[in-house]
Structure 1
């Protein structure tokens, strides 16, 4: 149930905006910041009332709601290069425009519109958070009901092919705050849902869901409080070793190091290591995922396996590319903190095309520098990433990649490394939650550990 102080904002957001507009005496171009500040104070406070709003996700698609519903959409920003739009900021009789109001009051806006009544808004394209593990998605949006499968308008704007997701155009009226958003940012948008024609430069308009954002918040990174972290670490290593990696404690130690790392600093190139687990037994059947993949999906918030094959490398895009003024996504356009598992068991002899070589180069560059190229018709831009990479190979090293670490797996259990999810002896829900929090805490603590001046002096003296 939505908290009482937020009821009016939830059920009559346009009325609240109009009331704020009647009280406001400043310039129209500054009013969107007033709206954002008002709703943020109510919805993104310590009570996190935004989480009580109706959610936009694959279980609650846009067609499940009527136009004008205030919803939240936890999403990844996919495209920030969409053209800005003009909207009528002031309607007749001192009525507020924007946030879909100028569309719903089209009869009032149909008269003569002065140039001074027009304002510019920022448009983005956002998608469901790619590679998000089901358990974390359900935590962010509890599964209440189900609707027919949503068919996204532009599936090519989602990084992982053939995965159910929501894609929606975002309209942001607070242009100053929107300037800080960049591709792959994970953001909770709160806005008024509508359905409008969406235009591109080289295609006819298509009806698409649109979210008129009233406020937003980037996903905060908290530092979980872990009691007895050393004990938790030992338990986690023992569980992964026994049930996932065939008793190889050393390999688990290196794996855990890799899972708990992230970009610390770029100036000194302190980046997360890439890891190869070599001598990994082949699967009993083609395309069978290792048990490790199921374990990672239960431990990490964002994770995706990528079974490499020549067909995948030669035909799919791993980097974003603009085609006809529309940014198509690629496998590697993923939010910071994502872990990918590259498996080479499906690779066979054959020819690697130019596209395949470009994809291999993009993966290697991401491992080495944590950057990803976005290709446009006459230019190429490099964006920063923070993605951890694990490579599984049957031989002593990877066919295509040079990783920071190469750990030969010391296991004799063979087929047990490919047990299905149902065959795994999972920890209790409470213990699994502790394992997840431990890995999250290790990542969040990077760069936040301070050394006292006294300790620094002792360390300095011990080196002389």
Structure 2
């Protein structure tokens, strides 16, 4: 549908001179477009970087202006919310209480949300997809809640959310910053943190865990002050009240609308799990057990369940980065457990270009560059055979190899050439050995 037809359709809901309005919007599209906010006025042109939360509404029938019922057309509608974990603008108003459950964070009604009306193929229509839409503001009844009026955007164009424009800092600059953030300074923890922040499922072998991920358990430290400055981060508390009152998986109570779950988050989000919030424990009722199972499954498979009536075991792919903080070894299924020192609020901002570096190294385009030379692959295989011959548990040897391969792949990808060389493999073995030695050195934490 052409731009002018969309503008005419939006203008039909308001008063105004059609020719003047279309001319003004066409001019504004050539300049800087204001971000969507609670104060955006009707028919103003806005851009909205958002996450698609509910994409299951029926197509909406509308008329471009003709009284001929045979000319009726359809448009796609979906509920979009501000990107969870991103820096938030101040909000002066709230959405109706009936919409509080459609945002994954515990912000209740003060999040920014809008009903998108899309007239062409438009953006990705998968739940939790990130999109930038440009369109004009209006209001409309919420599907399935006809008495609830919500902000609406008639979408003129859409596409992916732009990546950071700044030049990337160097790998060493970011590692030095991470190292100094621990007390005492900790270069091993810094390197593990970098690897986790660029990890992402690059392949999903049938029946096996995805390749390319690395989940961490930092024992003794809190990362929230550091991560909030660097990347899109969401904190997930495992307190007993949260486990019993929240839903970690998205769920539809009646098939007409989808309530968000704590884990309905866009690709690349860092989920900082606070296991210490569980305290000394207590009785876990059915809902709490279900939430912990959903979290464990998501960590292992990078798949998230969506609960709909009359539909069992619906799961969708996700790409989340999990870091668990605890005072003892986590009960969750994580790749690496590492005791660390305390952390304080960083006294200096991250190096300029840190976000650009993490975006570049964590991109699917960079992951596709990974190269494993034949001689290195042979060396890795021989070291595995040697460890098996040396005795010990065969399952332990296989688990060690799998973990070290995860680490090695990400060390390679943390460099521009993305090559898994002999030195990269040696460093992976060294990092894995040092982490296990730290675990062995803690009397209160059993070694892996």
| TM above 0.5 | yes
TM-aligned CA deviation for residue 450 of structure 1: 6.3
Alignment match of 2:153 (pick from 190, 211, 214): 211
1:439 and 1:378 mapped to 2: Cα distance? Answer: 41
2:106 and 2:310 mapped to 1: Cα distance? Answer: 26
Alignment match of 1:195 (pick from 129, 136, 139): 139
2:41 and 2:360 mapped to 1: Cα distance? Answer: 40
TM-aligned CA deviation for residue 76 of structure 1: 0.4
Q: Partner of 1:14 in structure 2?
A: 7
Residue 206 of structure 1 aligns to a residue in which SS?
strand
Alignment match of 1:244 (pick from 178, 182, 201): 182
1:89 and 1:362 mapped to 2: Cα distance? Answer: 45
TM-aligned CA deviation for residue 338 of structure 1: 0.2
1:73 equivalent in alignment to 2:48: yes
TM-aligned CA deviation for residue 77 of structure 1: 0.3
1:205 and 1:277 mapped to 2: Cα distance? Answer: 48
2:379 and 2:281 mapped to 1: Cα distance? Answer: 55
2:217 and 2:6 mapped to 1: Cα distance? Answer: 52
TM-aligned CA deviation for residue 148 of structure 1: 2.7
1:460 and 1:161 mapped to 2: Cα distance? Answer: 46
Q: Partner of 1:437 in structure 2?
A: 356
Residue 242 of structure 1 aligns to a residue in which SS?
helix
CA displacement, residues 318-346 of structure 1 (integer Å, 9 cap, x when unaligned):
11000232110011000000001111222
Q: How does 1:283-432 map to 2 (within 5 A)?
A: 290=222, 292-300=223-231, 302-324=232-254, 325-347=256-278, 348-380=280-312, 381-395=314-328, 397-399=329-331, 401-409=332-340, 411=341, 416-417=342-343, 419=344, 421=345, 424-427=346-349, 432=351
Between Structure 1 and Structure 2, how many residues are aligned? 358
Residue 322 of structure 1 aligns to a residue in which SS?
coil
TM-aligned CA deviation for residue 168 of structure 1: 1.4
| Structure 1: stretches of 5+ with no match in the other structure | 1-8, 19-34, 44-48, 92-112, 138-142, 282-289
| Structure 2: stretches of 5+ with no match in the other structure | 12-21, 383-448
Distance change in 2, residues 1:17/1:84 (3 Å): closer
Residue 367 of structure 2 aligns to a residue in which SS?
coil
Q: Partner of 2:33 in structure 1?
A: 53
Alignment match of 2:102 (pick from 157, 163, 168): 157
1:185 equivalent in alignment to 2:138: no
TM-aligned CA deviation for residue 244 of structure 1: 3.3
Alignment match of 1:262 (pick from 200, 203, 209): 200
Alignment match of 1:447 (pick from 357, 361, 367): 367
Alignment match of 2:119 (pick from 167, 173, 179): 173
2:192 and 2:6 mapped to 1: Cα distance? Answer: 51
Q: Partner of 1:82 in structure 2?
A: 57
Q: Partner of 1:272 in structure 2?
A: 213
Distance change in 2, residues 1:385/1:461 (3 Å): closer
CA RMSD of aligned residues (A): 3.3
Residue 255 of structure 1 aligns to a residue in which SS?
helix
2:379 and 2:274 mapped to 1: Cα distance? Answer: 45
1:293 and 1:55 mapped to 2: Cα distance? Answer: 27
Contact 1:225 1:441 in 2 (8 A): no
1:122 equivalent in alignment to 2:76: yes
TM-aligned CA deviation for residue 78 of structure 1: 0.4
Residue 306 of structure 2 aligns to a residue in which SS?
strand
